[in-house]
Amino acid sequence: MGIIEKMRLDGKKGFVTGAARGIGKCTATAFAEAGADVAIVDIDYEEAIKTAQELEEKTGRKVIAIKTDCTDKVQVDEMVEEVVSKLGGLDFCHNNAGICINAPAEEMTYEQWSKVININLNGIFLTDIAAGKYMLEHGGGSIINTASMSAHIVNVPQPQCAYNASKAGVIQLTKSLAIEWAKRGVRVNSISPGYIGTELTLNSPTLIPLIEKWNEMAPLGRMGKPEELEAICVYLAGDTSTFTTGSDFIIDGAFTCF
């Protein structure tokens, strides 16, 4: 069997959070195109249904939509149970849901801080643990968390201390779980994207001035595309990455190199 065949995900089952649009939609698409059955998990259920229907028609795989608030432990646990019930198991997941609030630290409210930490870090913890428990009991699996280059640098010119702190936490959580579960068959890795031009980002009036600045600073002179994150996620979800755990993959067009 050649490397291309080995990279396929035929027969595997997984879910992606924050998958109704943006990065999550792209990686869910890649998983399905590689042969996996996938659950589109998002708090926006209507958009999740549209995405699931689109991917099922496009790929021929079984793709379902599940409404879940990833900060609610009961909902997260029920989501994993539904994935297992409807897809027939759980081999991988991409925990991707997140938000960013740009506000100067001295002006940021505690409610804003808590919202970012709750979604970006606590939500990752809840989905990691719910998926991890199943995988530990059923022969292993692969967990992929979305961190950010913001875990490695302090972004400018926008102030976003809560986001940066939450994403740094995701990387340490990833490494901690990887160590705890290394000998029990569950691999845990993270990806740290740079600035990615999703549909929402590129059409946001508040971000357009920032995008011009980011592109001036970027070694490649542009933002990344969501599709440029697909290959690493397919690799991490599959069986060619069985010696890869506890790693963080920076995909940022060399932005963090200076």
Interatomic CA distance for residues 64 and 94, integer angstroms: 15
**What would you report as the CA-atom Rg of the chain, rounded to the nearest whole angstrom?**
17
Q: In this structure, how many other beta carbons lie within 10 angstroms of the beta carbon of residue 70? A: 27
Structure tokens at 55: 């991917």
Q: Please, what is the angle between helix 123-137 and helix 161-181, to 10°?
A: 10
Closest among 74, 30, 90 to 233, alpha carbons compared? 30
Active site residues per annotation: 148, 163, 167
Task: Extract the tokens encoding 250.
Answer: 């920076």
Output phi, psi for 139, to 5 deg: 90, 5
Tokens of 158: 């926008």
Q: What b/e readout covers 197-221, taking b as 16+ CB neighbours within 10 angstroms?
A: bbeebeeeeebeebbeebeeebeee
CB 224 within 8 A of CB 193: yes
The angle that helices 22-33 and 230-237 make with each other, rounded to 10 degrees, is 50
Q: Which residues is 189 bridged to in the sheet?
A: 144
